[in-house]
Amino acid sequence: MPDYKAPLRDIRFVMNEVLNSEKHYADLGAEDASPDMIDAIIGEGAKFCEEVLAPINQSGDQEGCTWSPEGVKTPAGFKEAYAQFVEGGWPSMNAPVEHGGQGLPESINIVLSEMIGTANWSWGMYPGLSHGARATIEEHGTPEQQETYLTKLVSGEWTGTMCLTEPQCGSDLGILTTKAEPNADGSYAITGTKIFISAGEHDMVDNIVHVVLARLPGAPEGTKGISLFIVPKFLPDTAGNPGDKNGVTCGSIEHKMGIHGNATCVMNFDGAKGWLIGPENKGLNCMFTFMNVARIGTSIQGLAAAEGSFQGALAYAKDRLAMRSLSGPKNPDGKADPIIVHPDVRRMLLTQKAIAEGTRAMIYYAALQADWVQHGEGETQKDADDILGFLTPILKAFCTEAGYEAANHGVQVFGGHGFIAEWGMEQIVRDTRIALLYEGTTGIQALDLLGRKILMTQGAALRNFTKMVHVFCKENEGNESMKQFIEPLSTLNKEWGEITMKIGATAMQNRDEVGAASVDFLMYSGYVCLAYFWARMAETAQQKIAEGTSEGDFYNAKVQTASFYYDRILPRTAAHAQMIANGGSSMMEMDAEHFAF
């Protein structure tokens, strides 16, 4: 298994030098988020991830979770690691002070989430899903619900889940059938079955708080008739401690391709007592608080996969000897050259590096916008919310697609050894595959981006982002050292809007054209977004080099990676643009019964 080392230098480069987080936190009024404080938090978080979580990643995959009628047992070391996590105060870092939190901005928590996810994604899902449940109760819960559940969720004493999916419905929540019948005491009896519930049952905490979608009697059909409920595993007693067992049980755990260390559960609700969160029949609106948090969190899995796989592949490529360099021996005293000298191995390694470091900048930037959505007001808050809403489907879908590609490159660099479990590279691929599916597949995210976020706003969401890119390009118009980045970025930024207009015009005649274009449009958008952040990183690195620095190698590598991205990855936009232009007729003209011919 690759030894995980938190990329602290690159994390600090993105936060402090590219995104100027010190100014951001000062403007935000987050006095406690001083550079020294943040550096200490990240350093201690890195130590926990490297020394506690990474060593149980592979063993957790091999052992998996164990189901019994009494509950689910997590792999060896998981429960102990969670106890250390809670003891260190990590769950409360970005929670409100009034509920026992430390009140630090969400963006700092995102850095911790990246390190946790790279070290051990399966373990990280247990506290990770609590974050969304907590956010939903913070936003929509009554004062009594907040008093009962938030302190325990904030401390990490209890964990939370999101219970949406049912056997007959995945992303189409309009056809869910779980029922909520009113009880005389103001609670509700929840009855139904939910599937694919990550961390739905485990042995790491005393209580699990399920956030559940269900229908009230006489509710409207479809998504307009869904309400949201809190359903705890154990009913809190008058002191707020776990009391009687509720009517919710884990019927089984799924046998999965990856993330074996996390319990993916079938949850049965048999008249379980629950309490309404938010207004009746507005559960899906309330759940979007949860889902948006979860989607940003899922995007980190793409970054984590790219970073973890790159670290393993790079170390192997430097040590593994095979064949001679085409341009002459590079290791003349050895029997062969290290494989890092071969152009194709470098292509894969640089692709991994470009994806990992580029998506880190994208996600961290989005996290800063989340800070303003949470703590800002007025136009500042609205602008941040607009940008974050636009970026969320791109982050969730593009970052995970790119991260999965990077993970596969890691296996390829190892050759046959990459297919063998002991090296750990194939586990990264298996663990990451789910990221392209949960919280809405790539196709679902693509429809959300193109249909809801762009076409339904007449392109306003896109214009907000392209304006920012345009300003950056204009500022660097006369900078000769940035020409290789600014010219293609400016061209693509303009083309982006033109492609959108053409899709909109075509969709007026045939709405299937939106679905046909959507995934290519999302991937095109992702590559252009990544180009923008690589250009910003290149600009920062060039400034540091011009000023004089003792870290010349680090900054030169940044510029060189940016050049690789623009030369060898960004041209993929041309293929996506052409496929969009070709339309969807070849997809739709064949009769369904003819697919088997």
Residues designated as active site:
439
CA torsion sign, 587 to 588 to 594 to 596?
positive
Residues 441 and 293 occupy one common structural domain: yes
pLDDT in tens, 456-492: 999 999 999 999 999 999 999 999 999 999 999 999 9
pTM over 0.85: yes
Residue 154 lies in a domain: no
Q: CB-hemisphere CA count at 13 Å for 578? A: 5
Residues 388 and 498 occupy one common structural domain: no
Q: What is the pLDDT of residue 32?
A: 83
| Domain final residue pick, 447, 477, 495 | 447
Residues 544 and 423 occupy one common structural domain: no
pLDDT > 70? residue 66: yes
The whole-angstrom separation of Cα 287 and Cα 132 is 9
> Pick from 387, 366, 359: which is nearest to 301 by CA?
359
Q: What is the pLDDT of residue 289?
A: 66
pLDDT in tens, 531-558: 999 999 999 999 999 999 999 999 999 9
Q: What is the pLDDT of residue 290?
A: 59
Helices H / strands E in the chain, number of each: 20, 11
pLDDT > 80? residue 111: yes
Residue 106 lies in a domain: no
Domain span including residue 337: 287-447
Q: What is the pLDDT of residue 131?
A: 87
Residue 254 lies in a domain: no
Residue 170's pLDDT band, with cuts at 50, 70 and 90, is confident
Residue 285's pLDDT band, with cuts at 50, 70 and 90, is confident
Considering only the C-alpha atoms of the chain, give the largest distance between any 2 of them, rounded to a whole number of Å: 84
Residue 141 lies in a domain: no
| Domain final residue pick, 423, 447, 471 | 447
Total structural domains within the chain: 2
Is the distance from CB of 204 to CB of 82 less than 8 angstroms?
A: yes
Residues 549 and 573 occupy one common structural domain: yes
Mean of pLDDT values over 342-356: 98
The whole-angstrom separation of Cα 358 and Cα 354 is 6
Is the distance from CB of 496 to CB of 564 less than 8 angstroms?
A: no
Neighbours of 548 (CB within 10 A): 7
Residue 540 lies in a domain: yes
Residues 508 and 375 occupy one common structural domain: no
Residues 374 and 409 occupy one common structural domain: yes
**List of residues 6+ apart from 171 with CB closer than 8 A:** 440, 441, 444
Average pLDDT, the chain: 95
| Domain final residue pick, 447, 474, 506 | 447
Residues 388 and 478 occupy one common structural domain: no
Is the distance from CB of 190 to CB of 65 less than 8 angstroms?
A: no
Q: What is the pLDDT of residue 558?
A: 98
Residue 136 lies in a domain: no
pLDDT > 70? residue 291: no
Tokens linked to 86: 């809670």
Q: Tell me what percent of the residues of the chain surpass a pLDDT of 90.
A: 92
Residue 75 lies in a domain: no
Q: Tell me what percent of the residues of the chain surpass a pLDDT of 70.
A: 99
